[in-house]
Structure 1
Amino acid sequence: MPNLEEYLKNAWITISSPVILMHSYLVVANPTTKEALECLEEYPKIIHWSSMILRLTNDHGTSTDELRRGDIPKSIQCYMNETGVVEKDTRKYVKSLVSTAWKKMNEEQDVSSPFCQTFIELSLNHARMGHCMYQQEDGFGVADCKTKDIILSLLIQPIPHTRMSHGNS
């Protein structure tokens, strides 16, 4: 089993976020610039941190269920195996890694970049989506309707409106 560092070197790429974000850049950038395309070849930090947030939140939310289904160990198991730390403390540590990744991601908004603001916001929203999907449990692979309820609440169901009366009561 790899240690956490070895796992993360591979896992932030295999979550497929870099491919998704690179394709997204080609859709939203008008015009594309040579400088930005060359930067994409090197996996810029905005893509790295967005992908890392998705990977870590995915691992935090899905690792238990995925192991039961026979999947490979995730960051949780790699860190536990490497350090001997119990799962509860490992999960706290992984949450701290997510927090650090968010700080790095937010710093990237202020860095001079060849990317358009739309792509930067898209990268942020990609990380936000992953964090939302996996912040409690597996919001994608487990059919328990929690994620469906969250999405319906956010996008479909109206916010209750109550009128406040002004006058003598």
Structure 2
Amino acid sequence: MDAPQASQAPEARNESEVRAIFTKVLGGDRGCFIDPTGEPIWIDQTIVDHILEKEKRLDGREKVFPFIPEVIQDPFEVWVSSARNEETDEIGVRRRYVKYLAIDKPKYVALVVQKVGDLWIGFTVFRGTKASTLNNLRKGTLIWGRELVPKDTPSPLFPDSSVLVEP
């Protein structure tokens, strides 16, 4: 588990506050970060738009916006899989970046990016403490990971589960 390089953002009360937090993190409306595989990952207002589409997504995710750069640049795992767009029914390729951070209580932060043409574009972020939710994000093919121990080794974050973990 890593100590975070940034601090959590305050919880937003409305759309303008969500957008302001995001813009402050990036220093503008968009940014690009290189992941450990050498791929540029573009982050823009797409993430905010996705969160604001449904009221249930206004669940405090903006508090982890400051961690987006380190989740991309120094993740614990990067997973790739196909995913169906619920609105268009199209199949696309997505990557999920997962990082464990020592914030509040042990917590993971995950960033989902999708392939749009030749670019990887940020889609949404997740954070949580439940092993079951984390395992739902860890689907597809593991394309990058820190030195991992066997899958049947209990996680220090979730001792009752069997997940890939940092040694």
Q: Please report the TM-score for the alignment, with normalisation by the length of structure 2.
A: 0.27
Higher share of residues assigned strand: 2
Instruction: Name the larger-Rg structure.
Output: 1
Higher share of residues assigned helix: 1
